[in-house]
Every structure is written in structure tokens, then in C-alpha cells.
Amino acid sequence: MASTVNFTGSVDPELLKRAKVIAAKTDTSVNALFNAELRHLVETFEAAESTGNQNFKVLLDFSLGRLTDEEVVQALGIDSDEDLFLLMAQAHLPMPRLPDSITHGMVNQLNALPTDQTGPSEI
């Protein structure tokens, strides 16, 4: 049996709550989910690296918010953001999130838009 090492990390409380729900629904543990995802990430990265393929590293950098979508599209020589989204799904990587400050700014801009209180107009 393989030995294990305990480590300390931090996770968003809401994410942990959601992970616990998934673990319960799949009759496993959060630890097992974490290990499976981390193993997949490491093995995929190592496999790509061993063949000299840097595509996974570029996709991982995008997922971690280190590269923009424009930089990734150019680096990978793909034609569109749709192709990038497909590659991210195939690589089993999450799409990057905007910083909270940008997200809140976008929400504020949407909330500031005028609303039509009269309903749809008739033609």
C-alpha cells in the first residue's frame, strides 16, 4: 500500500461545502476527490512535458490566470475562443475566474443600466 503524507492547505469554505456534497453523493471522501484531481493534473502535466509538448502548460497558465485568452489562442495557434474552451474541457482544467473586483465592477455597471419599467412596447 502506498504511504501518504498529511499536509495543510486552505480552501474557500463554500467550495469545501460543495465538495462535501459531491463526496457524499458519490460515496467517497473529499480527500479522495482531491487526490484524484491532483493526480490527474500531475500525470497529465508530466505526460505532456515528457513529450516536449508545452500545450498543457500554456492551458494550465491560462487556468491559473497567468495568460489571457488572446495570448493562449496565439501561443497554441488556434482560431477561436471556442476552440480554447474545448481544449480546456479536454485537458480537464477549469476556466479562469475574473478577479472579484472586476466581477463586482461588471455587476455594478449592469445594475446602473436604465431599465424599461413600462414593459415591452406594442407594434
Q: With cut-offs at 50, 70 and 90, classify the pLDDT of residue 120.
A: low
Task: With H, G, I as helix, E, B as strand and everything else as coil, classify residue 78.
Answer: coil
Spatial contact of 81 and 88, defined as CB atoms under 8 Å apart: no
Cα–Cα distance, 4 to 80 (Å, whole number): 42
Task: State yes or no: pLDDT of 73 exceeds 80.
Answer: yes
Task: State yes or no: pLDDT of 118 exceeds 80.
Answer: no
Record the pTM: 0.61
SS (H, E, C) 110-122: HHHCCCCCCCCCC
The backbone torsions φ and ψ at residue 122, rounded to the nearest 5 degrees and listed phi first, read -95, 145
Any idea where the domains of the chain sit in the sequence?
22-97
Cα–Cα distance, 112 to 107 (Å, whole number): 9
Exposure letters 49-87 (e unless 16+ CB within 10 A, then b): eeeeeeebebbbbbbeeebeeeebbebbeeeeeeebeeb
Average pLDDT on 78-97 reads 90
Average pLDDT on 61-83 reads 91
- What is the rounded average pLDDT for all residues in the chain? 87
Share of the chain above pLDDT 90, in %: 46
Torsion of CA 17, 62, 65, 74, to 10 degrees: -150
Q: With cut-offs at 50, 70 and 90, classify the pLDDT of residue 74.
A: very high
pLDDT value at residue 47: 86
